[in-house]
Amino acid sequence: RHRHPTVEMLDLSFLPFCAFLGGLGFVCVAFVSAWCQHWRGGFAWDGSVKMFNWHPVLMVTGMVVLYGTASLVYRLPPAWRGPKFPWKVLHGVLALAAFVLAVLGLVAVFRFHNDHGTPNMYSLHSWVGLVTVLLFSCQWVAGFSSFLLPWAPAWLRALYKPIHVFFGSTILMLSVASCVSGINEKLFFSLKNGTMEYKLLPAEAVFANTLGLLILLFGVLVLGALARPSWKRPDADFPDSRQVPAPLWGQAR
């Protein structure tokens, strides 16, 4: 079907977009690492404030960058044809890696709080963050059971797929919200005395605020890519998108 020239012009190629998004994700990880190294004292795994610094790095890397990458696996053109099972495995492995980093990030912050007598789960940031990780764990287990194990019937996969997609985007939004609120909370606690007041916007505040904007941009671009119809994998009813062998794995979800 003929499309309007404006639509053709706006139909950006996925691969250049993917390269840009990959670079942006790398910048997000580099920024949060530089913030914790340069202004917050570096890293350790000893219960000190340096152990806390692993928390933002692991959460941004896992729950935002790796998770966003996992969600876009099925948008890659090579995933549009042939067996879908290898791409399911890649999607699941990336999501599992993101979950492992998130758990390590939680361990870092809980141990830091416990060793310093700081209450746990006292802020909106901590509530949203924990809910996000719990939802993510449920999402991964349900996805693994429905789409990777051979006993899940086709009707169950078809029923669960839109739920899986919805919560996938929801978890990414919650991850971005958790990271941005966490950055803001850390700045409020750290920059509150003398010339280091947050309201005076010292260099650290400018740098960390920029990090928050980069994380927000990354999340918005991932959600935009997921919503773009021309980048979606063809429907599973097409013969070339079915799983093989069919008797074992059934059709692609």
Long-range contacts, stretch 109-113, CB < 8 angstroms, 24+ apart: 109/52, 109/55, 111/47, 111/51, 112/47, 112/48, 112/49, 112/51, 112/52, 112/55
Domains recognised in the chain with CATH numbers:
15-230 (1.20.120.1770)
Which one-letter DSSP state was computed for residue 53? T
Please name the residues in contact with 161: beta carbons below 8 A apart, sequence gap of 6 or more.
Answer: 253
**Whether 193 contacts 243, CB under 8 Å:** no
**Whether 168 contacts 53, CB under 8 Å:** no
CA dist 96 to 175, 178, 193, 203, 213, Å? 15, 19, 41, 36, 26
Longest dimension (CA), the chain: 69
pLDDT reported for residue 223: 97
pLDDT reported for residue 30: 98
Mean pLDDT by 10 residues, the chain (253 residues): 43 84 98 97 93 98 98 89 90 97 97 93 96 97 91 89 96 98 93 71 93 98 93 60 35 38
Q: Residue 77 carries which side chain, given as an amino acid letter?
A: P
For the chain, strand residue ranges (E) read none
Which one-letter DSSP state was computed for residue 96? H
- Candidates 136, 166, 127, 131; CA nearest to 63 is 136
The whole-angstrom distance between residue 190's C-alpha and the CA centroid of its chain comes to: 26
Residue count of the chain, please give it.
253
User: Helix 203-227 vs helix 14-38: angle between axes, to the nearest 10 degrees?
Assistant: 150
Question: CA 28, CA 25: separation in Å to the nearest integer?
Answer: 5
